[in-house]
Amino acid sequence: MTQTITPAPIRKSVHVDISPARAFELFAAKTASWWLKSHSISATKSPIKDVIIEPRAGGRWFERGEDGSECDWGKVLAWEPPQAQGKGRLLLAWQINADFKYNPTLLTEVEVLFTPENGGTRVALEHRLIERMGERAAGMRDAFTRGWGSLLESYGKAAA
């Protein structure tokens, strides 16, 4: 029997010296101002012009290339901007599979919490249910194994 090990959620957090409301706005409404342009999954290989997270639950999360083409990343599950100096929460569905393709039947979650901290904001991100990428892969082994090539390429570059 194959032994299955469930990968732990990825957790990251940073402190920023702007209010939770501004941090939420920067993260969710002005995403393209900080999003790394190399983080594109566009099939047309067009450079990223914009990254859009629609401001409502049920909205789309997608990139738009300079050529105008759009490529979905997932959707918005919860859109809760901070009120005054309070807490805020953004819950996104990351629907990119291990082959770096959008897959509407795959759902992993990215939750971002904005909490007041020392006059600024603690931004805590959790990417969870990563194991679902493996479950999906079991049913589409061919597509998945092809994906390892590009994954390794990324790994090699990152490790270099």
Q: Which residues bind other proteins (CB under 8 A)?
A: 2-5, 7-8, 10, 12-18, 22-23, 26-27, 30, 33-36, 39, 98, 120, 123, 125, 127, 130-131, 133-134, 137-138, 141, 144-146, 148-149, 151-152, 154-156, 158-159
User: 132 near 105, Cβ under 8 Å?
Assistant: no
Rounded to the nearest whole angstrom, what is the least distance from the CB of residue 94 to other proteins in the complex?
A: 9
Measure CA 52 to chain center: 12
Closest by alpha carbon to 119, among 29, 22, 31, 27? 22
Please say which residue, 7 or 47, places its beta carbon nearer to other proteins.
Answer: 7
Measure CA 3 to chain center: 28
> Strand (E) positions, 2-142?
10-16, 48-53, 60-65, 70-80, 88-94, 108-117, 120-128
Rounded to the nearest whole angstrom, what is the least distance from the CB of residue 70 to other proteins in the complex?
A: 20
Please say which residue, 68 or 141, places its beta carbon nearer to other proteins.
Answer: 141
Please say which residue, 15 or 56, places its beta carbon nearer to other proteins.
Answer: 15
Rounded to the nearest whole angstrom, what is the least distance from the CB of residue 159 to other proteins in the complex?
A: 7
What backbone phi and psi angles, to 5 degrees, belong to 159?
A: -80, -20
Please say which residue, 67 or 85, places its beta carbon nearer to other proteins.
Answer: 85
Closest by alpha carbon to 10, among 159, 155, 133, 124? 124
Rounded to the nearest whole angstrom, what is the least distance from the CB of residue 16 to other proteins in the complex?
A: 4
Please say which residue, 12 or 56, places its beta carbon nearer to other proteins.
Answer: 12
Rounded to the nearest whole angstrom, what is the least distance from the CB of residue 58 to other proteins in the complex?
A: 23
